[in-house]
Structure 1
Amino acid sequence: MKRTILQTTRLRQDSEGDTDRRATWLELFYDLIFVAAIGELAHSLSSHLNFPGLVDFIAFFVPIWWCWIGATFYATRFDNDSVSDRLSIFIQMAIVAAMAVNVHSGLQAAATNFAFCYAAFRGLMVLQYLNAGYCVPVARPLTQRFAVGFGLSVSLWALSIFVPSPWRFVLWGVGLIIDFGTPLIAGQLVTKLPPSVTHIPERVGLFTIIVLGEAIIAVVQGLSKLNLGFISIISAVIGLGLAFSLWWLYFNTADGSPIQAMRQGKKGIGLTWLYIHLPLVMSITAAGAAIQHLIAKGLTEVPTEMERWVFCGATALSLCCLAGIHWLTRTLGTLKFRTILSAYRLGSAVFLLIVAISGQSLSGFMLVVLVAAACGVQVVLDLLTSLWRSHPPLAQ
């Protein structure tokens, strides 16, 4: 039966034609507000590339990412493009815009406003799940579990508005633990109503594209503040090459096998794959902010210890996350092959940590070169591995 924007919430099922579900125009429009939010976070970190700035960045990034994840997983099961869904999306976008405005003020100044926004966003999600459970009886056990878990987290975030620091942030942390833990304790309810094998990998990939785009914007913005010269132009090309390498490593092997494993009852594989994406997208954003800061500061200058550690450490964390994702991606081949592929990533990550430890005298330019080279080597290794798998050597 043809869907209209007036019909009530229903459960999306593969048998109803969602076996190859793709992102809708509304979801792509929805992502734009998160483009703005991630851009504000990256700009704030680039302007305050120090320990307090890094703490603010992490404290704001995690809840914003979780808002996007929550909306995405609700949509993959229950979105039907109804009027109520469209209005909910609009309200969510307004809330995320308010969250983005507050990230520049820092954790101490903006904590109350940010907590209110997060509680409002997640509270709306709880209402949506309650409505979904009412309209779709078969989904009620799962939606009730989500409503209780997420509702408890909302209560803690709302309570934090009235609690002074540092207890306010303790409530934030406990609330996030409950948020992240609720799908884990949902048991087989998650596997009985699994997310789409095609929709979720595409949506998660699109968020990865968002943060890679912010890295490219960071390079351009950093370059715009300099007089163009040989070093600055070469550095910009290398910076773009770094973003391109991370894109290559992620999307060259992206697929839905971890979500398929969830559908087969292996919930831990799918959720581990999903949660690994948080440090991945956060570290890519941080690396982009760091390179913008280094370019704007002047690439002939020697970076401070904090600047060096954020840039090298964020890129190393990205590679570690890619190692975990590739190890979980079964379509890449045997466990032995996936282990070798992951070891490549971890090897470059170790190299970058060594650079962070021993690179006190390196200029910003040399630091960018070494970090980009560590990622570029991974692309070369992937190409050689693909060539070897396509044309294996003849047995002697």
Structure 2
Amino acid sequence: VSIATPTPARYWLWVIALAIEISNGPITYVTIRSVPTQKSHMDERFGAFVIIVLGEAVVSVATGVAHTDWQWATILAGISGFVMAVSLWWMYFERADEAVIDQALRGGKLALIRSYIYGYSHLLVFMGIVATGVGVQFAIESVSGRGFPMAEQAVLCGGLALFLLGVTILQGASTHPLPQRVVIARLVLALLTLGCIPLGLSSLVLVSLLAICLVMLNAFDGVPLSVA
């Protein structure tokens, strides 16, 4: 139907379809008294899709490097972009919880609400990874001297901030909530990342700085509570 619908009405059809898809799960559990339970494989599917999206981010890095001259700055930007992709993978899977959905199927209303928060916050993670990958590609291509407009910086920084928000929400909804220090550190980095947009940093400086910050954040996340 949307193919035959002119814009901008087509976009509204997409919004309606997405709203129906997102609300399908909650409506089902509210309207049906007894929902058949089974062992869920959603956690595996979430993880698999994260890997697929991260793969696209790595492809964006490779595409950006391929479209530029091989200079030390381009190579450094490409390495930084790859480090960012690995850091996102590290942050997501380090605290992956495979019991959230299964507990929701066997638990009460609170467990069910937690599972919806866990599941739907993955949308923020997916969008954040994609935007970060595209932003890294912009950054690598701009190293050759074509400029790094604020809109492209916003894609990179906004995507990373969106990922940090999404991964913090979904891991906070798991059966093993995040330590407060980790939540604060991630949100602070998200705000600092957004604050970099109006500074007009060069693409090489920005992508390298973000890569270093992500590595440091993951290292801090892995520090035992007794030490931190």
**TM > 0.5 between the two?**
yes
**Are 2:159 and 1:314 aligned?**
yes
C-alpha change, 1:306 and 1:191, in structure 2 (3 Å) is farther
The answer on whether the counterparts of 1:351 and 1:374 sit within 8 Å (CA) in structure 2 is no
C-alpha change, 1:185 and 1:339, in structure 2 (3 Å) is farther
Provide, for residues 362-389 of structure 1, a one-character-per-residue CA deviation record: whole Å limited to 9, x for no partner. Answer: 11101111221232221121122xxx24
SS of equivalent to 1:192: coil
C-alpha change, 1:259 and 1:190, in structure 2 (3 Å) is farther
The residue aligned with 1:223 is: 65
* Residue from 164, 184, 207 that aligns with 1:343: 184
Aligned letter for 2:179? R
Provide, for residues 123-145 of structure 1, a one-character-per-residue CA deviation record: whole Å limited to 9, x for no partner. Answer: xxxxxxxxxxxxxxxxxxxxxxx
Provide, for residues 142-199 of structure 1, a one-character-per-residue CA deviation record: whole Å limited to 9, x for no partner. Answer: xxxxxxxxxxxxxxxx3x45543323322221222122112111125498334634x2
The answer on whether the counterparts of 2:68 and 2:144 sit within 8 Å (CA) in structure 1 is no
The answer on whether the counterparts of 1:218 and 1:288 sit within 8 Å (CA) in structure 2 is yes
Hey, what's the Cα distance between the residues in 2 that align with 1:339 and 1:183? 30
**Are 2:77 and 1:232 aligned?**
no
The residue aligned with 2:196 is: 355
User: Post-superposition shift, 1:353?
Assistant: 0.7
C-alpha change, 1:311 and 1:345, in structure 2 (3 Å) is same
Aligned letter for 1:185? I
C-alpha change, 1:378 and 1:193, in structure 2 (3 Å) is farther
Larger Cα-atom Rg: 1
Provide, for residues 57-107 of structure 1, a one-character-per-residue CA deviation record: whole Å limited to 9, x for no partner. Answer: xxxxxxxxxxxxxxxxxxxxxxxxxxxxxxxxxxxxxxxxxxxxxxxxxxx
Hey, what's the Cα distance between the residues in 2 that align with 1:331 and 1:171? 38
Hey, what's the Cα distance between the residues in 1 that align with 2:144 and 2:221? 30
The residue aligned with 2:96 is: 254
* Residue from 200, 219, 224 that aligns with 1:380: 219
The answer on whether the counterparts of 1:326 and 1:338 sit within 8 Å (CA) in structure 2 is no
**Are 2:39 and 1:196 aligned?**
yes
Aligned letter for 1:209? I
1:1-396 paired onto structure 2 within 5 Å: 158=1, 160-187=2-29, 189=32, 192-194=35-37, 196-197=39-40, 199-263=41-105, 264-265=107-108, 266-298=111-143, 302-332=147-177, 337-357=178-198, 359-360=199-200, 362-384=201-223, 388-389=224-225, 392=226
User: Post-superposition shift, 1:313?
Assistant: 0.4
Unaligned runs of 5+ in 1: 1-157
The answer on whether the counterparts of 1:300 and 1:364 sit within 8 Å (CA) in structure 2 is no
User: Post-superposition shift, 1:340?
Assistant: 3.0
Give identity over the alignment, percent.
Answer: 29
The answer on whether the counterparts of 1:299 and 1:363 sit within 8 Å (CA) in structure 2 is no
Hey, what's the Cα distance between the residues in 1 that align with 2:25 and 2:33? 7
The answer on whether the counterparts of 1:212 and 1:247 sit within 8 Å (CA) in structure 2 is yes
Hey, what's the Cα distance between the residues in 2 that align with 1:376 and 1:169? 38
Task: Give the length in aligned residue pairs.
Answer: 223
TM-score scaled to structure 2, two decimals? Answer: 0.88
Hey, what's the Cα distance between the residues in 2 that align with 1:200 and 1:251? 15
